[in-house]
Amino acid sequence: MSRISIWKIMRNTSSMSFMNAKRVRDYPRLMLITTYIILGINLLLHNGWISGFGQVIAGDFVMFYSTGIIYRTSPELIYDYDKQSRTQQSLVAPTTLTGYNPYMNPPYVAPFYSILTHIPLEWSLLLWTILAIGSIFLVMRLLFTLVPVEKQSPELGYSQLVVIGLSFFPFIEGIQAGQNHWITLLLVTGITYAMYKEKWVTTGILTGLLIYKPQFTIGFIILWLIWRKSKALLAFTAVTTIWIGAFILQNGIKLLLLYSQLSQVFMDLPYIAGFPNYLLVTIYGLLTSIFPKDLQSIITFLTYFIIIIGAIGLGWFANRQKGYPMVERIPTIVGALLLPLLATPYALVHDMIILLPAYVMWGIYSNTNRYINISATVYLGVFILTFIASVTGIAWVSLITFGLFIALTTWIFNKNNSNTLMN
């Protein structure tokens, strides 16, 4: 099977082309410098925990920290919104919060947030942010070993990949909110790398650690079932059983039952005043930001229908590639990464950080400039559409995930690429 590196194609692209190597090198650097200057100004002009532009500084991290405090003292109240509101307000006093973030992770994640509370909030946030930035360096080093771009294109060496990662808007948005997206990025990158190297026990263990966002594990589990990767399934089952089992032994099953009962409340979030529904990147997010709550049942049905169709489609294609070398299963791995962003009800802009490993995998075998154009469109589109979404209140960023799904489907079924990938 003949492979042409996308990085070599980019290097050889005419200097008159819009997406040539020089622009790929310079534009992310400009984005990095400009964005972080703005973030710095926003922070310098703060008033207490309110930034210069009026947002709560690291509001999601305050919620994580608050959940950790509640878990240490009254674990049964982690989903009590009045308790959350009072705790969050006390953490940022004398700053007054106009609202609060509800805790929406599974209850078995709360013990890990309690670790954060052993040092003061400000120092804990600083450490969290340093780890987040450091994660980009680690992730890009790992991805760099899959695509040794520096040997083929100096414009896309390791340092440039770091610049692209740090300036990718989902990462920036997550940093500003104090999100745990960097942990998701580390795990998804590790899972992708381990799958590519066929280290199935490692793959299962890392996916088990990802169950704090269980929707992100769906695609991987489908692949293992179709490919009969029992080691990955057993490792995943072992990790989740130990994690959840230990939580139940310590806290009982009541919180898990409560979490399952709150699932409908989470589905209603886009219709709750003050919730930033424009940051949703799913089809459910787009439709709920356009249509009234009266149509929610139809939107929910359509969402689950898309999940089922997407899962069946992923399973069908995985079955067609069963037995092929892993390098020829790249489209399926990318599909597993994209599925939760497209089909599940709840995913926000910062969750699109998982596109970094997805695009490295996609780029390994893409042999046309179309991939370059799609990459540039996503890189700039997330930033531009998030701004438009914040003004209009409509989750326009979801159009990018839908467009990626169409692009991937076209890529898979394109006659020329199918001949290359499937012989």
Q: How far is CA 104 from CA 206, 264, 346, in A?
A: 21, 12, 11
Return the pLDDT at 163. Answer: 94
| Stretches in the chain below the pLDDT threshold 50 | 1-6, 13-16, 150-151, 415-416, 419-423
Return the pLDDT at 20. Answer: 66
Block residue for tokens 């088990």: 208
Residue 160: which of 11, 353, 28, 10 has the closest Cα?
A: 28
Tokens standing for residue 408: 């991937």
Question: Do you find a cis peptide bond into 94, omega within 30 degrees of 0?
Answer: yes
Return the pLDDT at 16. Answer: 43
Return the pLDDT at 420. Answer: 47
Return the pLDDT at 230. Answer: 96
Task: State whether residue 2 is helix, strand or coil.
Answer: coil
Return the pLDDT at 239. Answer: 98
Tens of pLDDT, residue by residue over 181-226, are 999 999 999 999 999 999 999 999 999 999 999 999 999 999 999 9
- Do residues 357 and 337 lie in contact, with contact meaning Cβ atoms separated by under 8 Å? yes
Return the pLDDT at 2. Answer: 39
b/e sequence 25-62, b meaning 16+ C-beta within 10 Å: bebbeebbeebeeeeeebeeeeeebbbeeeebbbbbbb
Tokens standing for residue 203: 């793959």
DSSP-assigned states of every residue in 371-399: HHHHHHHHHHHHHHHHHHHHHH-S-TTHH
